[in-house]
Amino acid sequence: MLAPEMQLLLGLIADTAIHGVVTREFSRLMRPENFSDYALLQRFVDTNTVLYLPDGPIDFASKTGRILGPLRAALAGVERIEMLEKIWGAKEEKRSAGGFAQSAVCLPYGVGYDRERGWHYTAAAVKVEEAFRLLLAGYSYTHLARLLGVTIPGVRKIISNQIYTGWRVIDERRDPSPAARRTRHDGRQGDRPKIKRAAEDVIRVQVISTPLVSPANFLRAQEILAARRRLNARTRSEGERRYTYNGFLSCACCGALVYTHHRRADYYICKGRKLLNTCQTHYMRRDLLDPKLDELFAARLRDIRLWHALAADVTRRAQAGDQKPEQLTDELNRMETRRARVLDAYFDGIIDIAERDERLRKIDGELSAVRTALSSIRPPEHLSPAALAEFFEQFDDFAILQRTQKRALLSATVPEISVANYVVTGLSLLLPCGDNFTRTDTDSSPPRA
């Protein structure tokens, strides 16, 4: 009804000189998506307009027209639904086979597809490979956005796409519900919002045999993205940057983010104190806190006793949390059998539709959790003291590095530092195996001003 052509038609039939509308078939007039679309038939009645079809005219104001009009409109609407279902089924079949069922504009950055070569990386993929390398080296989203020529949200979208490991994973779809319908400013149908697919509808196909990024580097990149998202690390370009640890500090008293603030001097200040007035943590001068944090990274992380204790803790947690894939597979098979029994009970008339839906809802929730765990499981990684020594070796010259070099190193390990009143009470780092190294009570005395 809101499309420009339909508005033009409604304006024309309002003219008393117009007696009727000629069309090839009824569906060219309307294929209603909801009952509000039937208002078009009333407009024909109000303007005394007749619809002329090859099999004869329909006067919607007549007794016969009042029956045939809504009936043929309903049939046209059902025909539209059937066409959409067939198109969707064909596209899903093509996607599951590793094909491409969309326009070229939907191709990922640096990825191409054609019938002869199939999926392949284009020349622009070199930039994506470099973006992954820079992210792992600690560069900011802003730097990566300039390299790729996209926005910062676009950078995160590119880095999160598994196509660069050779796998095409489709875990979203357009919301098909009537409530999700969107209309553009010109009246035409807009893009529907995306929703997550059910676990059983997720498509995962290997389409490129030689990946652009190794699975290990891709997983490490996802861990950095998640850690930065959790810490709300700052990526905006500003004028002169003087603060080294902004975006990596949280208040040890209330847990809020620690902001930067300039008032005659450079300070770090808890968000709870500055904005919410819920925290009593004092302002901390940058020229006093930064050297203290530099010492923490340059000296205290080089303690060999810390490496041995940390390696033992990581190994213990990996062994305690390890769950064999065979156990998950057996659990998945058992739940699928339970689901089949519920459906059999419904078809045999033992349970009604409400009880069927309730049981299936619970089972599907458990199935989704097990499938997610099974798809993400990986062999436990054990860190040795030697590996930790190599990891922490990068902090040897931390105290003498320039601010940009320190920020790059911090961005690669994504630390979360708990501090209040110049006292550092906790430190969390992203280790090579993806675990978080957490050390508390790192200090107990404030520096002398």
For residue 328, pLDDT beyond 80: no
104-178+193-229: CATH number: 3.90.1750.20
Give 5-30 pLDDT, tens digit per residue. 888 899 999 998 999 999 999 999 99
Q: Which pLDDT value is given to residue 160?
A: 93
Selection from 300, 434, 425 nearest residue 378 by Cα:
434
Separation in Å, CA 147 to CA 20, 126, 219, 270: 60, 11, 21, 34
Per-residue pLDDT at 440 exceeds 90: no
Beta bridge partners, 189, equal 183
Per the CB < 8 A criterion, the answer to whether 433 and 265 are in contact is: no
**Residue labelled with tokens 């590996």:** 387
> Does residue 297 carry a pLDDT above 90?
no
Q: What is the pLDDT of residues 70-104, one digit of tens each?
A: 999 999 999 999 999 999 999 999 999 999 998 89
DSSP code of residue 109: T
pLDDT at residue 326 in the model: 66
pTM of the model: 0.62
Residue type, 205: V
Residues making up the chain, counted from first to last: 449
CA-based nearest residue to 20, from 64, 58, 55, 54: 58
Q: Which amino acid is at 67?
A: I
Q: Residue ranges of the domains in the chain?
A: 4-95, 104-178+193-229, 316-386
pLDDT at 433: 55
Residues 6+ apart with CB under 8 A from 294: 244, 398, 399, 406
Check residue 301 and give its pLDDT.
75
Tell me whether residue 265 is exposed, middle or buried, using C-beta atoms within 10 angstroms of its C-beta: 0 to 12, 13 to 18, 19 or more. Answer: exposed
Residue 284: name the closest of 329, 253, 319, 327 by CA: 253
- Burial profile 168-191: b = 16 or more Cβ within 10 angstroms, e = fewer: beeeebeeeeeeeeeeeeeeeeee
Angle at 320 between CA 228 and CA 440, to 5 degrees: 50
Question: Shortest CA distance to 82 belongs to which of 17, 44, 27, 122?
Answer: 27
- Separation CA 107–CA 208 (nearest Å): 14
| Dist. CA 27–CA 74, nearest whole Å | 10
pLDDT digits (tens, 9 = 90+) for 26-46: 999 999 988 888 999 999 999
Looking only at Cα atoms, what is the longest distance across the chain?
97
The structure tokens 């909801």 sit at: 34
pLDDT, residue 232, reads 58
CB atoms within 10 A of CB 77: 19
CA pair distance 434, 136, nearest whole angstrom: 13
CA distance 445 to 421: 10
Model pLDDT, residue 60: 94
pLDDT digits (tens, 9 = 90+) for 123-179: 999 999 999 999 988 888 888 999 999 998 999 999 999 999 999 999 999 998 888
Q: Among the residues of 31-124, which ranges form H helices?
A: 39-46, 63-96
Contacts of residue 163, Cβ cutoff 8 Å, sequence gap at least 6: 108, 111, 119, 169, 207, 208
